[in-house]
């Protein structure tokens, strides 16, 4: 019985003894060993009573085993819900509850803090550590290395990826086997991946970019990956000579550009550098070409849609654009008010339709209906235009969203917490330019009359509840927030006012500071 995603990405590599993952210690994991590990894990899942269509939530450090857990879910038909390792227990509780996950897999170090939450929500908990230990790994070690692949169809859900919303409530994007397969097939073709490719993989594997774009493309092509636990610029420089390609967020490229060992010789053999998840400044594109001779290939995607557009492999990779719609993907620019398609060259909202577009938000039919039209077009919330040569330009966002180092941060989620703090009437959270992360988070707080909120206390209250990357890097007090005649906070005015806040400081690692009123 078929399981299209498993068969195409994993099953066809059965018995291959060539490397799939090259690890930093110089060892490698072959395709055959990886598939055996995945099958053992699939046996554990089934033995625990999980069935096709059930959900598991995984908050685990990046490792070959963490990736094998994804393969195990695909093979057993269980819906995989990967979670950012930076999420707090409070953030995790929402995902486990909303998804109805029956099993939480986490690192041993987090077990104590997550057990009560998981049990209260009716989920069991197992551990999987990056070094191959933990209760899940131990259970897998006792299992057979083969598994009867669960039959699935292309419109069955393979993964649930949570994406925050403008209301502050995250939504689980249901990605089907067909969504993932079609995008992987298209990208292999467009970016010319084959089994000789060695992809330098330093992205996290709990998001679309690292999991579906990078990993699925390599699996579909039958190539291999240099699988690094995280982005460390010295490690990247050290590994580049062994790679043929790298996928990254813009921060990867700005950090590489600051490295003295980035030279044309170091990367002369490289075939492809791609960038996405956040806007790549034209300046970075140009500087990278000057420093290396390579033109970065920028592409555009979303959690809900996988990849939508790409600059060409052959042909001009135009700086400041995200290229053309991928084969099979329709993209149009519409009037945000009427939904009517706009003439070429005009700026409007970007809508996309194709086999890559998700099946809707998990148990949120109203939100699905608001963003996914009956005719199949998904309203991305990005603003763009198509130039006279057909290149798509992203010019802004029709959604209140900050992208910091490739991570999406929804201001509403932070404002809700700031507004609850003692002495605070209201707040506005904005993203301002930041040399390292592209944008960084600033929280503007309006105190109650006669009160002076304790910014250090607020900082730690936020710190207990939100992942570090979402926490404002600066908190400032303001007398009031600028509003338009409708009473809406004018975030553009605030963004302009604070646009230079981080520009005169060294990149990254700025701490929260109390501003002056
Ligand atoms: C880490 N920190 C961050 C971020 N990452 N703060 C804001 N934004 C971030 N992205 C925090 C750390 O907790 C640390 O806090 C401090 O910032 C500095 O850490 P540093 O060591 O410099 O960070 P890092 O570990 O080197 O990480 C930076 C990074 C990483 C390499 C850019 O964030 C990363 O790998 N980003 C990729 C995200 C990604 O894959 N996005 C794809 C989403 P402290 O102050 O405590 O030291 S998928 C997507 O968007 C769509 C579908 C698409 O199109 O791809
Ligand atoms: P997410 O759904 O969290 O993965 O984030 C998707 C969002 O990232 C998109 O809606 C865009 O706003 C942004 N994005 C992704 N790729 C690019 C890009 N190449 N240029 C500009 N924005 C991008």
Contact 174/361 with Cβ under 8 angstroms?
yes
For 121-148, what is each residue's pLDDT tens digit? Answer: 999 999 999 999 999 999 999 999 999 9
C-alpha to C-alpha distance for 94 and 100, rounded to whole angstroms: 10
| Residue 298 near ligand 2, beta carbon < 6 Å | yes
Atom 8 of ligand 2: nearest residue by CA position: 277
Please state the separation of Cα 199 from the chain's center in Å: 18
C-alpha to C-alpha distance for 8 and 178, rounded to whole angstroms: 11
User: What is the pLDDT, as a whole number, of residue 137?
Assistant: 98
Q: What residues have CB less than 8 Å from 282, skipping those under 6 apart?
A: 319, 320
Contact 357/372 with Cβ under 8 angstroms?
yes
| Residue 322 near ligand 2, beta carbon < 6 Å | yes
Q: Tell me how far the alpha carbon of residue 416 lies from the centroid of ligand 1, in angstroms.
A: 23
Q: Tell me how far the alpha carbon of residue 87 lies from the centroid of ligand 1, in angstroms.
A: 12
User: What is the pLDDT, as a whole number, of residue 375?
Assistant: 96
Q: Which domains does the chain have, with CATH numbers?
A: 1-17+31-152 (3.40.50.980), 401-513 (3.30.300.30)
φ and ψ of 139, to 5 deg: -60, -40
C-alpha to C-alpha distance for 384 and 377, rounded to whole angstroms: 16
Site to probe by mutation for ligand 2, drawn from 300, 331, 371 as the one with most ligand atoms within 8 Å of Cβ, is 300
Contact 469/407 with Cβ under 8 angstroms?
yes
CA atoms within 13 A on the CB side of 126: 21
User: What is the pLDDT, as a whole number, of residue 514?
Assistant: 38
Give the closest residue to 257 by CA, choosing from 277, 283, 225, 239: 283
C-alpha to C-alpha distance for 130 and 366, rounded to whole angstroms: 39
For 68-124, what is each residue's pLDDT tens digit? Answer: 999 999 999 999 999 999 999 999 999 999 999 999 999 999 999 999 999 999 999
For 304-363, what is each residue's pLDDT tens digit? Answer: 999 999 999 999 999 999 999 999 999 999 999 999 999 999 999 999 999 999 999 999
Hey, is 58 helix, strand or coil? strand
Atom 18 of ligand 1: nearest residue by CA position: 509
Q: Where are the beta strands (DSSP E) in 387-437?
A: 392-397, 402-404, 407-409, 424-434
Give the closest residue to 163 by CA, choosing from 360, 330, 308: 360
User: What is the pLDDT, as a whole number, of residue 515?
Assistant: 41
Name all residues whose Cβ lies below 6 A of ligand 1.
203-204, 207-210, 230-231, 249, 251, 276-277, 301-303, 404-407, 437, 468-469, 508-509
For 184-229, what is each residue's pLDDT tens digit? Answer: 999 999 999 999 999 999 999 999 999 999 999 999 999 999 999 9
Structure tokens at 22: 């090259």
User: What is the pLDDT, as a whole number, of residue 283?
Assistant: 96
Q: Kindly tell me the burial class for residue 112, based on how many C-beta atoms sit within 10 Å of its own C-beta (0-12, 13-18, 19 or more).
A: exposed
Q: Tell me how far the alpha carbon of residue 407 lies from the centroid of ligand 1, in angstroms.
A: 6
Contact 382/430 with Cβ under 8 angstroms?
no
Ligand nearest to the CA of 235: 1
Place 169 in a pLDDT band, splitting at 50, 70 and 90.
Answer: confident
Contact 441/491 with Cβ under 8 angstroms?
no
pLDDT at 507 over 80: no
Place 509 in a pLDDT band, splitting at 50, 70 and 90.
Answer: very low
Place 388 in a pLDDT band, splitting at 50, 70 and 90.
Answer: very high
Structure tokens at 470: 């979402």
For 219-259, what is each residue's pLDDT tens digit? Answer: 999 999 999 999 999 999 999 999 999 999 999 999 999 99
Q: Kindly tell me the burial class for residue 503, based on how many C-beta atoms sit within 10 Å of its own C-beta (0-12, 13-18, 19 or more).
A: exposed
Site to probe by mutation for ligand 2, drawn from 394, 409, 438 as the one with most ligand atoms within 8 Å of Cβ, is 394
CA dihedral 130, 131, 137, 141 (to 10 degrees): 150
Task: Give one DSSP letter per residue of 179-199, joined into a string.
Answer: HHHHHHHHHHHHHT--TT-EE
User: What is the pLDDT, as a whole number, of residue 504?
Assistant: 66
C-alpha to C-alpha distance for 266 and 247, rounded to whole angstroms: 17
Residue with tokens 């690292």: 210
Q: What residues have CB less than 8 Å from 218, skipping those under 6 apart?
A: 20, 193, 197, 199, 201, 224, 225
pTM beyond 0.75: the answer is: yes
Ligand 2 atom with the smallest distance to the CA of 173 is 2
User: What is the pLDDT, as a whole number, of residue 456?
Assistant: 96
Region 439-455: what's the mean pLDDT? Answer: 97
pLDDT at 517 over 60: no
User: What is the pLDDT, as a whole number, of residue 505?
Assistant: 57
Give the closest residue to 422 by CA, choosing from 397, 451, 442: 451
Contact 210/201 with Cβ under 8 angstroms?
yes
- Report the mean per-residue pLDDT for the chain: 95
For 3-16, what is each residue's pLDDT tens digit? Answer: 999 999 999 999 99
């Amino acid at each position: 019985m078929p399981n299209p995603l498993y068969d195409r990405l994993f099953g066809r590599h059965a018995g291959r003894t060539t490397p799939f993952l090259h690890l930093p210690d110089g060892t490698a994991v072959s395709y055959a060993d990886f598939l055996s590990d995945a099958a053992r894990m699939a046996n554990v899942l089934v033995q625990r009573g999980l069935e096709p269509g059930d959900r598991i939530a995984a908050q685990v450090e990046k490792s070959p085993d963490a990736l094998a857990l994804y393969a195990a879910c695909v093979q057993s038909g269980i819906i995989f819900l990967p979670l950012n390792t930076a999420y707090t227990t409070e953030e995790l509780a929402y995902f486990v509850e909303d998804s109805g996950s029956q099993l939480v897999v986490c690192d041993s170090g987090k077990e104590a803090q997550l057990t009560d939450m998981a049990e209260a929500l009716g989920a069991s908990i197992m551990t999987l550590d990056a070094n191959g230990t933990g209760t899940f790994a131990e259970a897998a070690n006792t299992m057979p290395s083969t598994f009867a692949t669960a039959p699935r169809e292309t419109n069955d859900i393979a993964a649930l990826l949570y994406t925050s919303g403008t209301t502050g409530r995250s939504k689980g994007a249901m990605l089907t086997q067909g969504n993932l397969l079609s995008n992987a097939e298209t990208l292999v073709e467009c970016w010319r991946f084959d089994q000789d490719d060695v992809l330098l993989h330093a992205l996290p594997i709990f998001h679309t970019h690292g999991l579906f774009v990078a990993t699925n493309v390599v699996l579909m092509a039958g190539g291999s990956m240099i699988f690094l636990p995280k982005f460390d610029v010295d490690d990247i420089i050290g590994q580049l000579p062994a790679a043929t390609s790298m996928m990254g967020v813009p921060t990867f490229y700005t950090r590489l550009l600051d490295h003295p060992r980035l030279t044309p010789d170091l990367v002369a053999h490289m075939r492809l550098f791609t960038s996405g998840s956040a806007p790549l400044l034209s300046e970075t594109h140009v500087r990278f070409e000057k420093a290396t001779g390579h033109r970065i290939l920028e592409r555009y995607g979303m959690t809900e849609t996988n990849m939508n557009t790409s600059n060409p492999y052959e042909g001009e990779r135009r700086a400041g654009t995200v290229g053309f719609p991928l084969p099979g993907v329709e993209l149009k620019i519409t009037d945000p008010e009427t939904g009517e398609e706009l003439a070429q060259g005009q700026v409007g909202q970007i809508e996309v339709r194709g086999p890559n577009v998700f099946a809707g938000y998990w148990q949120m039919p109203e939100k699905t209906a608001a963003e996914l039209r009956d005719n199949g077009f998904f309203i991305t919330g990005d603003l763009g235009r198509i130039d006279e040569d057909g290149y798509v330009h992203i010019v802004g966002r029709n959604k209140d969203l900050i992208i910091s180092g490739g991570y999406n941060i929804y201001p509403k989620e932070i404002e809700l917490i700031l507004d609850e703090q003692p002495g605070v009437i209201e707040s506005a959270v904005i993203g301002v330019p930041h040399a390292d992360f592209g944008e960084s988070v600033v929280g503007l707080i309006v105190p109650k009359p006669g009160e002076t909120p304790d910014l250090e206390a607020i900082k730690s209250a936020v710190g207990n509840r939100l992942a570090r990357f979402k926490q404002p890097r600066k908190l400032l007090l303001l007398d009031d927030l600028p509003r338009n005649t409708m009473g809406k906070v004018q975030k553009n005015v605030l963004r302009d006012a604070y646009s230079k806040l981080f520009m005169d400081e060294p990149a990254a690692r700025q701490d929260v500071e109390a501003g002056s009123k």
